[in-house]
């Protein structure tokens, strides 16, 4: 019996340092039929970045073409460069029954919410603010000023939590992954997502 | 870190023969902090039925006292006997952080929905109508007439599925239990249910 219909659109946000990338990597290692949406950008690749892995690197003309053809779910311009998410790719995956995960900051998420209120909006928090600070320091990549800036930004982002559906606590990667998996499974069980099944089974 | 606040009210419905009792027994064997709400009734105990296990058996005067004191979440009269659910007991459990499960048919569920729209409404279906018929026959307890009556009633009940939040498919007990567990875990992660946590953590 086929229990799944279309894929689910998942929007994941959370402050820098919360450990989202590790959680996503672990989630993807455990699940099938889930696709990580890779953003498009007009900025130059940094050393080590690969086209189609970190970003889809495109020209300004190509990006503006996507805007004109309304192929983008959301886009923004930062420091003279475009960043955006392809609606077209997402829709193709969802239609094929594949879940699509967007790792996106709160402003982009708000734009997605306006167009796709049916998506699952998940915000990842650390167990405490002190722990977030500790994780940012442990990375050993940023100056104290940059870290303080990230913590300040985190506070702003937390104020957007009420706009999300779910709050996942990354006290331990395995716990956070378990919570996200439960959210995805529960969503599959929503009556709206199983309409085809019960109407088929009971010839309603 | 305390991740749970109040308990969750869970309303489980599904047609006779779908295997709800087995699913509930297995769910309860796997979970802590979950309470099965035992109905009150004025009917006489049948052979083998125990007070406080199958039902709380009370007198008509006691039951009408509960109605008068508005202690019941829902109640109805069938064939001259009262049946009802104590709101008081449920509230005490939920306040103590314990989930409460009501095994209740669609009409009672509708009454609960009117007063507690925040509850989780879950409907359990068989993988097919033929399978439901097979399970009812396999019980070997009912006459063909009674079975046909139950199947007819099941069709009526299925028409109420759009009023539920979640649809769980009992193709296999372990699958159904896994789905219900995911629904409960996802519900714990809802932003509304974790308000105290994030407001506490981030001093918002």
Q: What is the predicted pLDDT for the residue at A203?
A: 65
Q: Is the dihedral of CA A204, B175, B123, B192 positive or negative?
A: negative
Query: Average pLDDT over chain B, rounded to whole?
Result: 92
Q: What is the predicted pLDDT for the residue at A6?
A: 87
Q: Do the chains contact at B185 and A166, CB–CB below 8 Å? A: no
Q: Do the chains contact at A158 and B202, CB–CB below 8 Å? A: yes
Q: Considering the entire predicted model, what is its pTM? A: 0.90
Q: What is the predicted pLDDT for the residue at A204?
A: 54
Q: What is the predicted pLDDT for the residue at A47?
A: 85
Q: Does B170 touch chain A (CB under 8 A)?
A: no
A187: chain B residues, CB-CB within 8 Å: 186
Q: What is the predicted pLDDT for the residue at B32?
A: 93
Question: Is the separation of the CB atoms in B56 and B40 below 8 Å?
Answer: yes
Q: What is the predicted pLDDT for the residue at B139?
A: 83
**Residues 182-201 of chain A whose Cβ lies under 8 A from any Cβ of chain B:** 182-183, 185-187, 189-191, 194, 197-198, 201
Per-residue tens of pLDDT for chain A, all 204 residues:
556 678 999 999 999 899 999 999 999 999 999 999 999 999 999 888 899 988 999 999 999 999 999 999 999 888 789 999 999 899 999 999 999 999 998 989 999 999 999 999 999 999 998 999 999 999 888 899 999 998 999 998 999 999 999 999 999 999 999 999 999 999 999 999 998 887 877 665
Nearest to B191 among A129, A167, A171 (CB): A167
Report how far residue A167's alpha carbon sits from residue A175's, in angstroms, rounded to the nearest whole number. Answer: 12
Q: Do the chains contact at A191 and B123, CB–CB below 8 Å? A: yes
Most confident option among A180-184, B49-53, B107-111, B150-154: A180-184
- A-B contacts (CB, under 8 Å): 106
Residue among B161, B5, B187 nearest A185 (CA): B187
Nearest CA in chain A to B163: A191
Q: What is the predicted pLDDT for the residue at A28?
A: 96
| Residue B4's pLDDT band (cuts 50, 70, 90) | low
- How far from chain centre, in Å, is Cα B134? 24
Q: Do the chains contact at A202 and B162, CB–CB below 8 Å? A: no
Query: How close does chain B come to A35, measured CA to CA in Å?
Result: 21
Q: What is the mean pLDDT of residues B35-55?
A: 92
| Residue B2's pLDDT band (cuts 50, 70, 90) | low
Residue B189 half-sphere exposure toward CB, CA atoms < 13 A: 31
Q: Do the chains contact at B155 and A202, CB–CB below 8 Å? A: yes
DSSP B59-122: -HHHHHHHHHTT-EEEEEEETTEEEEEEHHHHHHHHHTT-EEEEE--HHHHHHHHHH-TTSEEE
Q: What is the mean pLDDT of residues B147-173?
A: 93
A155: chain B residues, CB-CB within 8 Å: 202
Nearest to B158 among A126, A129, A202 (CB): A202
Q: Does A83 touch chain B (CB under 8 A)?
A: no
Report how far residue A29's alpha carbon sits from residue A101's, in angstroms, rounded to the nearest whole number. Answer: 14
Q: What is the predicted pLDDT for the residue at A142?
A: 83
Q: Do the chains contact at A161 and B191, CB–CB below 8 Å? A: yes
- How far from chain centre, in Å, is Cα A169? 16
Rounded to 10 deg, the angle between the B20-30 and B173-188 helix axes is 60
The H or E element that residue A153 is part of is helix A144-158
Q: What is the predicted pLDDT for the residue at A93?
A: 95
């Amino acid at each position: 019996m086929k229990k799944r219909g279309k894929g689910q659109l998942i929007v994941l946000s959370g402050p820098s340092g919360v450990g989202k990338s590790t959680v996503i990597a672990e989630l993807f290692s455990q699940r099938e039929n889930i696709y990580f949406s890779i953003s498009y950008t007009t900025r130059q690749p940094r050393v080590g970045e690969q086209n189609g892995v970190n970003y889809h690197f495109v020209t300004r003309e190509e990006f503006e073409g996507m805007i004109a053809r309304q192929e983008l779910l959301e886009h923004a311009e930062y420091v003279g460069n475009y960043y955006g998410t392809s609606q077209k790719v997402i829709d193709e995956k969802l239609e094929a029954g594949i879940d699509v995960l967007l790792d996106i900051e709160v402003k982009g998420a708000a734009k997605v919410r306006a167009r796709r209120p049916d998506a699952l909006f998940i915000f990842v928090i650390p167990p405490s603010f002190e722990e977030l600070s500790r994780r940012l320091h442990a990375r050993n990549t940023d100056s104290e000023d940059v870290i303080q800036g990230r913590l300040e930004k985190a506070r702003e982002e937390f104020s957007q939590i009420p706009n999300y559906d779910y709050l996942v606590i990354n006290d331990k990667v395995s716990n956070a992954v378990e919570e996200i998996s439960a959210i995805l499974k529960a969503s599959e069980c929503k009556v709206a997502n199983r309409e085809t099944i019960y109407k088929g089974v009971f010839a309603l």
